Every structure is written in structure tokens, then in C-alpha cells.
Amino acid sequence: MTAPENGGAAKRPGARPLDFRHGRVDLSHGSGGRAMAQLIEELFERSFDNPYLAQRNDQAAFAVDAGRMVMTTDGFVISPLFFPGGDIGSLAVHGTLNDVAMAGARPTYLAAGFVIEEGFPLGDLRAIVQSMAAAARDAGVPVVTGDTKVVEKGKGDGVFITTTGVGVVPDGVAPSADRARPGDAILVSGTMGDHGVAVMSKRENLTFETEILSDSAALHGLVADLVAAVPDVHVLRDPTRGGLAAVLNEIALQSGVGMTVRERDIPVKAAVNGACELLGLDPLYVANEGKLVAMCAAADAEPLLAALRGHPLGEDAAIIGTVTEDPHHFVQMETALGGTRIVDWLAGEQLPRIC
């Protein structure tokens, strides 16, 4: 695939540059006029800096590889916008890259849509866009097209971002939530609950001190290593909203199986455990943004674990349980105490707006 030549759009003469120190977004920034063109040029184009965007079309054109493609889209409405270990910008890139990667795919392009509330500080917007651009650059996946809308004050909450991603799946790789089979091993790539606790710690009404950072990260490199080692991985999922518990229950239902996991084998940081204890939360239900759950044939479990642990984002990976035959599709857990309980679907909401 070749990128288009940069057309080098002409600069508008005489315009004062955007005031990122004191300026705020107003309705003109979304109106389609000069102010919008200036915002796109001085912020979005400059930050994302790629030849597709520089062509200033309402779409990006690119060649495609032969084979299967995947496509996904995700809206990000997190509060607060900046949290320990990340912000809505990096999260919007990582979240969508991870959804592409969970098909076993290599992500190729991203698109981004912004809904910005009137009055939002331009400096904060720049910080978010630059963080997003850095995340995309680190991942090697360009944001090739986008959209900006401004809504009246009170009709939004700072900024909402929607990202769309496409990617290419290698031949012979087809993980899917309906492919878990009795006897399969269940693995996680690292500690559970970091993101949700990091975000909670910065809530306006709930501030507490914690050293926990969000685990927000792009997982396609880890997935590439994983599918190279075990192409026939049956299931890949990132346990975001609802945490590990939600993902295991969804897969159990979609595959028509049950599951048994061992509490003592599920990695949870001591600080996350402590925060959850104080807040009355269960780390198994708390969101992650840089972890995956994998299921594979028992014989593939050790090679898959080795592949995960061989990558910097999978150092704490563990085999946590087994897929079982169960007409009720229960996810059961052997507790550290030595008893058994269900890990149920989440009822109601445990945490509001964490992604």
C-alpha cells in the first residue's frame, strides 16, 4: 500500500494562530467556515501528520491487501478526560486498535470523530489530540480521516470521541467468541482491574490516593506474537467494560459452554485489590484497557502462555481456568478460601462512564 503524495494545501493568509493557552472552542469551530478549517489545519493535521489527512478530502483512499478485513467502531465518553496513565485521546486509539486486534488482525487505518462541547479549552483539546496522535504513531497506524462537530454548552460533557479501525486478518486465524470448547484453557495477559481503579481514583466525588495507572495500551503487537505461536487460538477478547466477569459470561453464552476459573491464579495488583476493598467493588468486574483473555486447546496453552510472557505487555500472563460442559453456561470460580461460587453477569452498573 502506498500513501498519497502530500498535496501541500496552501496556507490561508493573514489568520492569527489559535490561542491554545487561553482560547476555547466555540460554535464556529464546527460550522464549516474559516474557524473550522483553521482548527483542522493547526491542530488535527499538524498532530496526526500523515499524507492521507493532508489531502483534505472527506474520506481517505487506500489500497487493500487480499484476504479478510475486519472493521470496528467505538465511542469514548470517559469521565474524567485525563486519568492516571492516559486520557480520552490515547484511550480512543488503544480501544479501537484492540477491538481490531481481537480478531487476530493487524490494524491498518483509523478514523476519528470528535463531538466537542462549546467552551471546551483549546489547550485541553490539543493535549488530547496530541496524545491520540502519539498513540497512533507508536502503534504504527495512521488516523487517515476524521470529523469535528461542536455542540452547544450543556449538550455534551467536554469531548466525546468515536474511532473506527480497519485491519487485515492473517490466513488461518479466526478467533471468535463462539469457538470456546470444553477442555480449552483460559488465559489472561496480565493483571485485572487497573484501568477502572485508576479512573475511579480521579472521580470528583471520590478522590483517593493510589499509585495505580491505567493499563491503556495497544495490544496488536502482543496479538501478532500470540497468533504466530498459536494460529488456532479459539477466542480473543479484551475485558473492558464489565471486566473479566462480563467477558467470560459472554463467551460462555455464545459458545454454549461453562467455565471454571481459579481465584488464586487470576493476577490482581495488591493496590487494585485494596482500592476495590475500600470501594466495595470486585476487581473481576472492573475495566481493563490493555489486557486480553485468550482461550485455546489445552495442548496449546503452554506455547500461548510463553508467547504472551515473551512480550512486554504480557509479562504477568497466567492460565486461570478451563472451559467446561455446562448447559447452564455458569462461570464458576474456585475461591482462594477453597469454596466455589458463581462469577455472575454484572447487575446494574458498577462504575459509570469509564471508557
Partner 1 sequence: MKYIEEFRDGRLGANLAAALARDADGGRTYHLMEFCGGHTHAIFRYGVLDLLPANVRMVHGPGCPVCVLPIGRLNMAIHLAREDGVILCTYADMMRVPGADGESLLKARADGADVRMVYSSLDAIRIAEDNPDRQVVFFAIGFETTTPPTAIALKTAVAKGLTNFSVFCNHVLTPAALVGILESPEVQDGETVSLDGFVGPAHVSAVIGTKAYEFCPERYGRPVVISGFEPLDVMQSILMLVRQLNEGRCEVENEYTRVVSREGNRKAQDLMDEVFETRDSFEWRGLGAMPDSALKLRETFADLDAEVRFRLPERTIDDHKACECADVLRGVKRPTDCKVFGTACTPDTPLGSCMVSSEGACAAYYTFGRFRDQQATA
Please identify, using beta-carbon distances, which residue of 73 and 335 lies nearer to partner 1: 335
SS (H, E, C) the chain: CCCCCCCCCCCCCCCCCCCCCCCECCHHHHCCCHHHHHHHHHHHHHHHCCHHHHCCCCCCCCCCCCCEEEEEEEEECCCCCEECCEEHHHHHHHHHHHHHHCCCCEEEEEEEEEEEECCCEHHHHHHHHHHHHHHHHHHCCCEEEEEEEEECCCCCCCEEEEEEEEEEECCCCCCCCCCCCCCCEEEECCCCCHHHHHHHCCCCCCCCCCCCCCCCCCCHHHHHHHHHHCCCCCEEECCCCCHHHHHHHHHHHHHCCEEEEEHHHCCCCHHHHHHHHHHCCCHHHCCCCCCCEEEECHHHHHHHHHHHHCCHHHCCCEEEEEEECCCCCCEEEECCCCCEEECCCCCCCCCCCCC
Please identify, using beta-carbon distances, which residue of 298 and 342 lies nearer to partner 1: 342
Please identify, using beta-carbon distances, which residue of 148 and 255 lies nearer to partner 1: 255
Q: Out of 206, 249, 267, 311, name the contact with partner 1 by CB under 8 A.
A: 206
Under the criterion CB under 8 A, does residue 344 sit at the interface with partner 1? yes
Q: Which of 150, 84, 87, 93 is nearest to 122 (CA)?
A: 150
Per CB under 8 A, the segment of 32-40, 90-98, 123-131, 323-331 that binds partner 1 is 323-331
- How near is the Cβ of 284 to partner 1 at its closest, in Å? 11
Per CB under 8 A, the segment of 5-13, 34-42, 127-135, 267-275 that binds partner 1 is 267-275
Say how many residues touch partner 1, by CB under 8 A.
27
Under the criterion CB under 8 A, does residue 336 sit at the interface with partner 1? yes
Q: Out of 6, 31, 57, 340, name the contact with partner 1 by CB under 8 A.
A: 340
Under the criterion CB under 8 A, does residue 205 sit at the interface with partner 1? yes
- How near is the Cβ of 277 to partner 1 at its closest, in Å? 6
Q: Out of 14, 154, 280, 312, name the contact with partner 1 by CB under 8 A.
A: 280
- How near is the Cβ of 242 to partner 1 at its closest, in Å? 13
- How near is the Cβ of 247 to partner 1 at its closest, in Å? 17
Please identify, using beta-carbon distances, which residue of 88 and 343 lies nearer to partner 1: 343
Instruction: Give the integer Cα–Cα distance in Å for 131 and 146.
Output: 16
Per CB under 8 A, the segment of 88-96, 121-129, 164-172, 322-330 that binds partner 1 is 322-330
Under the criterion CB under 8 A, does residue 341 sit at the interface with partner 1? yes
Per CB under 8 A, the segment of 10-18, 36-44, 179-187, 324-332 that binds partner 1 is 324-332
Under the criterion CB under 8 A, does residue 270 sit at the interface with partner 1? yes
- Number of Cβ within 10 Å of residue 172's Cβ equals 9
Per CB under 8 A, the segment of 20-28, 83-91, 161-169, 340-348 that binds partner 1 is 340-348
Contacts with partner 1 by CB under 8 A lie at: 205-206, 264, 270-271, 273-274, 277-280, 327-328, 330, 332, 334-342, 344, 347-348
